[in-house]
A and B are shown apart, each in its own frame.
Chain A
Amino acid sequence: MTEALRREDVAHVAKLARLSLSEEELELYTEQLGQILEHANDMSTLDLEGVVPTAHPFGLINVVRDDIVRLSLSRDVVLAMAPDAEDGRFAVPRIMGEAP
């Protein structure tokens, strides 16, 4: 069902997870994640056709509260935790690249 984990798979996953790995880390994680996934292959031999998956132990249903206005954290308190803020907003480096 599942083939061996390749180094390029790990590199791709690291990019998706916004992590930058050194060559040595790529090597190590390919080996270690491969071992963990190999252990997980004991599940792949099971015939679980028709079994309902459980994502949550009690079958979570939406919980709503009455629509009553109440206080939450103030903007200043929240922005004070940010690495950078400006004019009442979070500040980040540029998002868009240069125009082609």
Chain B
Amino acid sequence: MKTAQQIARDVRSGESSAQSELDASLAAIRGRNEELNVFLYVDEAGARAAAAAIDEKVAKGDAVGPLAGVPIAIKDNMCQVGIPTTCSSKILEGWRPPYNATVIDRLVAAGAVPVGKTNLDEFAMGSSTENSAFGPTRNPLDPSRVPGGSSGGSAAAVAADMTPIALGSDTGGSIRQPAALCGLVGVKPSYGLVSRYGLIAFASSLDQIGPFSKTVMDSAILLETIAGHDPMDSTSLPEPAPSLSAHVEDGVVGKRIALVRELIEGADADVVASVNRAVEALKDAGASIIEISIPELHLGLSAYYLIAPAEASSNLARYDGVRFGLRVDAEDVEAMNTATRTAGFGAEVKRRIMLGTYALSAGYFDAYYGQALKVRTQMINAFQRAYAQADLLIGATAPSVAFPFGSKTSNPMAMYLSDVFTIPTNLAGEAAISVPFGTGEAGLPTGVQLLGPGRSEAQLFAAARVLELAEVGS
């Protein structure tokens, strides 16, 4: 399949058309969606109209954007006017948003063609898409295994060549981990870089929207398209989008990159071997490599699994059967709220709401939530010390390659450990990218993670590109 960059170039030059690119995308979706359960909704009519409009502009000689005619998949926790948006939850089944997320408006303005909404773990809580109320997504590279999660549908859409790019959201690793398990590039941007207006909230101090793609360049183009200040999101950084695609070929000469012991500890041997090989490739390209230890990273999982559920328990209080979504009738309001939430939420969402409610409840607040917020400070300080020694950090994205269905569903802690290497970046509000590098068990892809301080995306893309060149040579 062509990259987004190639499609946009061909559509602009008239060598191809948005409509024929869309036809290829829709054909790929028809071919494998039933088997893989990637898209929950395909907006064929809307996509055809958008593609026709692009072709008309090109024919008239009007300017079209950097993603002209590029089909894109959207994780189903982002609002698009009139398109069912479910968060893979029964509680939102059938709901159609009356407004667009800012990222949708920016994509459309750039000429992209949103083709549909992809499956996720319910409310983005999970690491395998097995928590979707509408069935799991299968990994296109091995359908007996998970694609990762929570943005498993968006990752699978790109891995199965249904669309060249997709949007996901990353609260504790939900873009990077599925990118690693599906052999893709996936980026968790700095907190505030991308507007979250219209992203259905899970944990507001952690959530960020970011790109999936097969190539580093495509993620850079997509991220610079959706980034930049948005007055509709008060947490959005007060500055325009940075230039990213212009820095992809910057290289790593003279960059200091630190291999972090805690970011490979406990990973499978095949994953560690890929990280070590990536370190060599960066060194060969002119980076200076050091090895460091950041012991505070050990506490990330514990802090995250109190902070994220605490915020979720508050954010998900809005699903009460009053203003939108499901209602299960009962004799009074409280009974109706309870009946609605009990019927509408799945097991993992209930588990996290209860965990968060407990962590915030009288008598436990200081011991759990309060302590977790202090650990978060320690984590930020530890990263700052690391970035005094190194420009970027490197480690694994996930502890293993894609795992088989059902292998972690009975033990929540085992599933949570899938995110042990990705969580610290979210807690610190910083940036990280997962790059496909090497293969492991059963020939499945392994992901290498590069981490940087806030607003380091340009450097991360440049380093990721070095790994891409070392791996695929183009």
Contact = CB atoms under 8 A, between A and B. Distances in A.
A60 B235 CA distance: 7
A8 B299 CA distance: 28
Given A13-B358, A93-B333, A52 B375 contact: no
Interface in A1-59: 1-2, 5, 9-10, 13-14, 16-21, 25, 29, 32-33, 35-37, 39-44, 46, 48, 51-58
B299 A39 contact: no
Contacts of B165: none
Contacts of A99: none
A63 interface: yes
B320 interface: yes
A94 B231 contact: no
A42 B357 contact: no
Max count, chain A CB within 10 A of own CB: residue among B331, B376, B430: B376
A94 B333 contact: yes
Nearest to B376: A54
A20 B378 CA distance: 37
Nearest to B190: A57
B353 interface: yes
A97 interface: yes
B332 A2 contact: no
Contact of A40 (B231, B306, B323, B327): B306
A69 interface: no
Contacts of B98: 73, 77-78, 81
Chain B: interface residue count, which band?
35 or more
A93 B334 CA distance: 9
B368 A97 contact: no
B324 A82 contact: yes
A20 B324 contact: no
B380 A57 contact: yes
Contact of A94 (B327, B332, B337, B416): B332
A19 B332 contact: no
Contact of A54 (B333, B336, B380, B412): B380
A57 B99 contact: no
B342 A51 contact: no
A92 to B, nearest CB: 5
B333 A95 contact: yes
Contact of A9 (B321, B322, B358, B429): B358
A17 B313 contact: yes
B234 A18 contact: no
Interface in B301-339: 301-303, 305-306, 313, 320-327, 329-339
Nearest to B205: A56
Contacts of B332: 93-95, 97
Interface string B379-408: 010000000000000000000000000000
B106 interface: no
B424 to A, nearest CB: 12
Nearest to B337: A18
Nearest to A61: B234
A40 B370 CA distance: 12
B6 interface: no
Max count, chain B CB within 10 A of own CB: residue among A32, A40, A48: A40
B377 interface: yes
Given A19-B350, A83-B326, A40 B302 contact: yes
B331 A93 contact: yes
A18 B320 contact: yes
Given A13-B354, A14-B354, A20-B339, A51 B412 contact: no
A35 B338 contact: no
Contacts of B335: 93
Given A2-B364, A43-B372, A54-B377, A18 B322 contact: no
Given A39-B305, A93-B331, A51 B355 contact: no
B234 A57 contact: no
A53 B374 contact: yes
Contacts of A77: 98
B336 A93 contact: yes
Contacts of A82: 322-324
A52 B323 contact: no
A78 B324 CA distance: 9
Given A18-B320, A57-B191, A46 B375 contact: yes
A58 B322 contact: no
12 contacts: A18-B337, A19-B342, A19-B345, A21-B350, A33-B355, A43-B371, A51-B378, A52-B374, A56-B205, A63-B234, A81-B324, A93-B333
Q: Which 7 A-B residue pairs are closest in the complex by CB-CB distance?
A: A57-B429, A53-B373, A83-B327, A63-B234, A48-B374, A51-B374, A81-B324
Given A54-B373, A58-B191, A83-B321, 16 more contacts: A16-B361, A17-B313, A18-B337, A18-B341, A33-B355, A33-B358, A40-B372, A42-B302, A53-B377, A54-B376, A58-B235, A83-B326, A92-B333, A93-B331, A93-B335, A94-B331
